[in-house]
Amino acid sequence: MQVNFLIAGMQKGGTTALDRFLRAHDDLCLPCRKEVHFFDDEKVNWSAPDYSQYHDFYPEKKDNQTQNAARLVGDITPIYSYWAPCAERIKAYNPQMKIILCLRDPVERAYSHWEMEVSRKAERLKFRAAIREGRDRIAKSNNTQHGCHRVFSYVERGFYALQIKRLRAYFPHHQFLYLENRNMKEDLPGTLDQICDFLGVKRFGIYPANETILPTRKRLDLGQIKAEDAAYLAGLYNNDTRETARLTGLDLSHYQSWT
């Protein structure tokens, strides 16, 4: 067996919902859990990786090879776009991999990311501090690898153009599908049609109900992002957003509504 497609980003871009929706499609095979974290696993011997460890997440596919031969195999792990070595590792595994990236306003994404980590009790800083002096933790933390931090990367994960260019250095343009979170919320059937057409499978006969699905129960006392913090982030992302729009062909003008 071989994994054929990835939803490789972005964290807090709607990937948990897509995981739920795509599991309803008969022609798609997804792993026993969302976010298997294979290509960002630093315990794997990447000079000679044992892909059977990866394929063990797909017991249905492995146990029923003949019955499921036509089903496309997918992996939904959004850190793959951010974790620097993943692109090269994915290319070595499957040069024909189809890659889906779900973008979200990077200001909203950063705040949602912070809300999640606070709700998990992994973050104690207020958002204002976390996106300013709190960024120093990435350089100083013993948990930072390849310049990436799994928890405190609120700002860094919003530089989408950097991540897209890193992936595009290993895969051609036609192997990518770029989605925008707002469009998925407003037109789920249309978004699912895009995914099915991109993967070359039939469209849904009955579309799943559009619902908000969160990976973590969010604390309800955190309030909304403050205007000054939103404007600060939008300023940081301004050039990257322009470049992301150029690379993806998406209209991302609404990302600058904070300024």
Instruction: Answer whether residue 62 shows pLDDT above 70.
Output: no
Beta strands in 34-106 (DSSP E): 72-76, 98-103
Higher-pLDDT residue of 4, 213: 4
CB 209 within 8 A of CB 129: no
| CATH number of the CATH domain containing 124 | 3.40.50.300
On whether the pTM is more than 0.85, the answer is yes
- Nearest in space to 167 (alpha carbons), one of 177, 155, 152: 177
> Mean pLDDT lowest for which of 23-37, 49-63, 175-189, 234-248?
49-63
CA distance 25 to 205: 9
> Domain limits at 210?
5-256
* pLDDT score recorded for residue 65: 57
User: Helix (H, G, I), strand (E, B), or coil: what is residue 235?
Assistant: helix
pLDDT of residue 217: 74
Burial status of residue 193 (CB atoms within 10 A of its CB: 0-12, 13-18, 19 or more): middle
Instruction: Give dist(CA 106, CA 156) in Å, integer.
Output: 10
Q: How far is CA 249 from the centre of its chain?
A: 18
What average pLDDT does range 220-236 have in this prediction? 93
Q: What is the mean pLDDT of residues 104-122?
A: 96
Q: What is the pLDDT of residue 11?
A: 96
- CB atoms inside a 10 Å sphere around CB 209: 8
Which region holds residue 249: left if phi is over 0, alpha if psi is between -120 and 50, else beta?
A: left
Q: Please state, in angstroms and rounded to a whole number, the distance separating the CA atoms of residues 242 and 256.
A: 10
Taking only the tens place, the pLDDT of each residue in 133-191 is: 999 999 999 999 999 999 999 999 999 999 999 999 999 999 999 999 999 999 999 99
CB 252 within 8 A of CB 103: yes
Mean per-residue pLDDT for 39-51?
98
Please give the backbone phi and psi of residue 100, each rounded to the nearest 5 degrees, phi first: -110, 130
Distance in angstroms (rounded) separating the CA atoms of residues 71 and 63: 13
Q: Where are the beta strands (DSSP E) in the chain?
A: 5-9, 28-29, 72-76, 98-103, 176-180
Sign of the alpha-carbon dihedral angle for 80, 68, 44, 48: negative
Once rounded to an integer, what is the mean pLDDT over residues 237-255? 96
pLDDT at 212 over 90: no
Based on the structure, what is the number of domains in the chain? 1
User: Can you tell me whether residue 8 is helix, strand or coil?
Assistant: strand
pLDDT digits 0-9 by tens, 73-95: 999 999 999 999 999 999 999 99
The predicted pLDDT at position 250 comes to: 96
CA distance 157 to 19: 20
**pLDDT above 80 for 60:** no
CA distance 23 to 18: 8
d(CA 138, CA 209): 39
Taking 70 as the threshold, does the pLDDT of residue 17 lie above it? yes
